[in-house]
Structure formats: structure tokens, C-alpha cells
Amino acid sequence: MASWTETHSPSRTPVCCSSSTLMSSGWRYFFEEKQPLQFHVFDAEDGATSPSNDTFLGSTECTLGQIVSQTKVTKPLLLKNGKTAGKSTITIVAEEVSGTNDYVQLTFRAHKLDNKDLFSKSDPFMEIYKTNGDQSDQLVWRTEVVKNNLNPSWEPFRLSLHSLCSCDIHRPLKFLVYDYDSSGKHDFIGEFTSTFQEMQEGTANPGQEMQWDCINPKYRDKKKNYKSSGTIVLAQCTVEKVHTFLDYIMGGCQISFTVAIDFTASNGDPRSSQSLHCLSPRQPNHYLQALRAVGGICQDYDSDKRFPAFGFGARIPPNFEVSHDFAINFDPENPECEEISGVITSYRRCLPQIQLYGPTNVAPIINRVAEPAQREQSTGQATKYSVLLVLTDGVVSDMAETRTAIVRASRLPMSIIIVGVGNADFSDMRLLDGDEGPLRCPRGVPAARDIVQFVPFRDFKDAAPSALAKCVLAEVPRQVVEYYASQGISPGAPRLCTPATTPSSSP
């Protein structure tokens, strides 16, 4: 949801119109896509059915990612000539309006059910139905059959609140109990009704249980002294909150984006037009294209928009010794670059000063990024999740060490994206991606979770830049939620932040 406010004259009634690549009602959010938004503010006139150019007060642009990552964004309104509209500002507030992701765990048992079998006891099971808007009943759960038992205890089960009651705690629920028959003609024992709200309230206190009389309407209407066909007891009703990626982002979790670029000799001499690192004035090379596509999305989720950028596999000044984790801005104390445009500038300046060499060792840069991720893990909070983008042209030389580094990183708040540049054999990369089964280190220890996403750039060289970003970033939201859920870490409360700045365009 986006709302707006504006500094204006009391005599005016401003209205806001938004245009974007998204639907104006119920915007769908995708982390892996850059979703631009425009907001236009007009002065409403009496009787006017639509804004006109004569009443235009100002406009602004941003991305949905900026709004989501900061929860509240305040930006100046701009006139058509690009100048600010006085002191007028617009404030956009984001709110997730999707249905709840809560799950509920339920445990039922029964007591003194009617016996429907002549030579043995009933084999009871229970069905739960929710009532739809058209008053039809929809089956949402069927318990297992408990053989030859009038006092069954059914296994606990878990289902989403959406499945149980369509997230409406007042929606009627119907419970039917049967005696199982192998012919499929099950004998009806009894029924009762409730709501999820009633079930929650009846089990709110520790150890508190709720019970209902199981009623057979035919017996109730025919038998004068009929009381019930048994008792159904709800022994457990526990709600489990399942958090979303948006919950973590809007709760203050930042995506810490780090770049690692392959400067091994197999890329070719940068002075040659055949080199993968060739800086042509006509078209950016594949390294730059990948960096812009992926980094342009990630920078919306980092508040200071400063990104560490490293190179590996090159001889660097002043002694021209081989390094596998050098800062491409040549400042080892502060390897961060200002926005993705700063990373690109540092890359361009770095190339003429280094000697492409080798080998292609990836483990050092993974271990380097894992250090702050480990510090983040020790906080026990969801404040910073690291994403490492590795751009490389060839086969990994230190495969054993890289596997060990990835398995270790799989237990940290960290994901790794590998983009293969050029036409080399990337079969090793697919092994790291887990395409052939869970990744294991040489000692056989498996990765705790899948954190690597590999794509060859050649599959996207003729596609729009957004296609590459969409492919490599699509798994990040799941990986973020998976990590924090595995650690039992809930997102922080949604917070309000300082006004956003608009990233400058890449050179």
C-alpha cells in the first residue's frame, strides 16, 4: 500500500495519481525485478473527472524496492522542468496487504464414542469442513483412522490458517466423526460446529483444553434421553507465525551486496577486442552488463548504498603479487564503492593498473564475505543478510576449498550468486549450484541449505538485462526466509526511515 502527503496551500485539494509497470490496485512485489513507480500530484477542481495538465503540482519517481526496504519514503515533488516544486514533498508508505501466512497445529482426541461395530469397537476418524461464502462445505482435513478404539487420540496435524478458515476466524467450521468401513460406507457417529476464534479462546491458557458434545441429529430427535454420541476434546491449538521476505525487509533487514570479479588471464588481454574485459565505447562488456543488471536491483535494499568490490586472480601493484581478494578501488582498509556506479568506475580504473594472471581461486573471497556474515549471526537478529555476486569466466581452480567454504557459509546469513561469463565449461559451477544433489565438502559434510545460484551469461546475452537479474535473484527471498526461520529469528517491527535518495545512473 502507498499513501502520500504533501505540503500545500489550504485552498487546494491535491490528489495523487500513480503510474508504473504494476497494477495500480494491489501492486505485486518481486525482489528480483526493478519495479519503477511514478507519482503525479494534481490540484483537484470542482466537477473535474480527471486531472488536467493545468492543475499539475509536481511528480516524483522511485522503485517499489526502495519503498519496501525503507517502509516510508519522503521525496521532493518536481515540476516538469525538473526543478523542485517549492517545499512540496510526497511521502509514500508501504504496507504488505497479502493474506496471513500463519499455520495452526491442532491435536484432537475423543472420549466414549458410540460403538458402531457388532463384534468389535468402532474405527473412528474425523473430517473438518469450512463453510464457503455460498454456504457450501469444503473438506479441509481428514484424520487418520484409529482402529478398534472408542477413545481415540488422533495424530497432531498442521495446516495453514488460509486452508482451515480462509483466514476468517469467525468462519463456521463443521466437524464430522465416522466409523470407518472398508466398503466406503462409513457409519456416521456424530458432529459439532465451532470457529477458529472459539478454538483459540478455549485453549488460550497453558494446559487448557476445549471439548464439545458429538451429536447425532437423528438420535437426538428420536431418543428421549439422548445426550451425545461421545465427547471430542481439542488438546492443542497452536498458531505458528510464518514470516515472509517482506516481513524481514520491512522489519529492517538490509541486503549487504558484495561484488567479486575474475581478473584471471583466461579472460584475455583487456586491450584486445576479443577480451571479456574489453572496455569498448560502443557496448559494455559482459562483466559490466551483469554487474548493472544484478547490482541495480540489490542497491535498493542497502541503506548506505556502499558496496565492497573485490577482484581475484590478478597481479596487483605495487609489488604485482597475485591476490584473490583485493579491493578494486585499491583501498584495503575501505573496499566499499559508492553505489553500483562507483563499483563500475572502480572497475574501469582498476583494469589498466593490474596484470591478469591466475589461478581462479574463489574460496578466499567467499571466506572474506563470510566473516561479517558470521558476526551478524552472533547478534541473533535479522539486520543484515549478505549476498555475494561472483563474476567469473572459467573453471574453479580451488574446487575442494570452495566447496568447504560454501558448506560453511550455508550456516550463515549469506547467499552466493555466480554468473559465468564467456564460453568456458561451467560444469563445476553447476556442481556448486546443487544441480546434482546437495553440495558436500570433501569430508562429506553436507550444506545446511542451498545458497548458490549459478547462471551462464551466454544464456542471457540477447535478452533484456532484467531477465538475468530475475533469474539469479529469484531464489534470494526464499534463502533469506529459510535461514532466519531455521535459526528461530523473527523479523523486527516495521520501522520508519529517513527520506530516500535516488541512486545516480551508472556511467
What is the average pLDDT value for the chain, to the nearest integer? 85
Each residue's pLDDT tens digit, 193-212: 999 999 999 999 999 999 99
Helix, strand, coil percentages for the chain (3-state, nearest 5): 25, 30, 45
pTM of the model: 0.64
Per mean pLDDT, which range of 155-164, 207-216, 421-430 is the poorest?
421-430
Q: How far is CA 370 from the centre of its chain?
A: 21
Cβ within 8 Å of residue 459, ≥6 positions away: none
> Which pLDDT does position 3 carry in this prediction?
38
Tell me the pLDDT tens digit for each residue of 416-429: 999 999 888 888 88
Specify whether the CB–CB gap between 13 and 105 falls below 8 A.
no
What's the pLDDT at 73? 79
Q: What domains are defined for the chain?
A: 36-93 (no CATH), 103-240 (2.60.40.150), 245-487 (3.40.50.410)
Confidence class for position 14, pLDDT limits 50, 70, 90: low
β-partners of residue 419 are 391, 455
Identify which has the larger pLDDT, 19 or 407: 407
pLDDT of residue 95: 60
Query: Of the given ranges (85-99, 116-130, 140-154, 441-455), which has the lowest mean pLDDT?
Result: 85-99
Task: Please count the CA atoms within 13 angstroms of the CA of 44 that sit on its side-chain side.
Answer: 10
**Parallel/antiparallel/unpaired status of strands 231-240 and 124-131:** unpaired
Per-residue H/E/C for 202-240: HCCCCCCCEEEECECHHHHHHCCCCCCCCEEEEEEEEEE
Percent of the chain with pLDDT over 90: 53
Instruction: Check if the beta carbon of residue 394 is closer than 8 Å to that of residue 360.
Output: yes
Alpha carbon distance 90, 216 (integer Å) = 62
- Residues 6+ away with beta carbon under 8 Å from 400: 441, 442
Q: Given this model, what pLDDT does residue 44 score? A: 63
- Say which residue, 30 or 157, is predicted with more confidence: 157
Q: Across residues 109-125, what is the average pLDDT?
A: 92
The pLDDT of 385-414, averaged and rounded, is: 94
Distance CA 404, CA 411 (A): 12
Cell of 496: 520508519
Residue 47 has pLDDT above 60, yes or no: no
pLDDT(143) > 90: yes
Distance CA 347, CA 337 (A): 10
Closest CA to 312 of 346, 265, 371: 265
> Where does the pLDDT of residue 505 fall: very low under 50, low under 70, confident under 90, or very high at 90 and above?
very low
pLDDT of residue 155: 96
Confidence of residue 27 (pLDDT cuts 50, 70, 90): low
Beta strand 187-194 with 210-213: parallel, antiparallel or unpaired?
unpaired
Q: Please tell me the predicted confidence (pLDDT) of residue 489.
A: 92
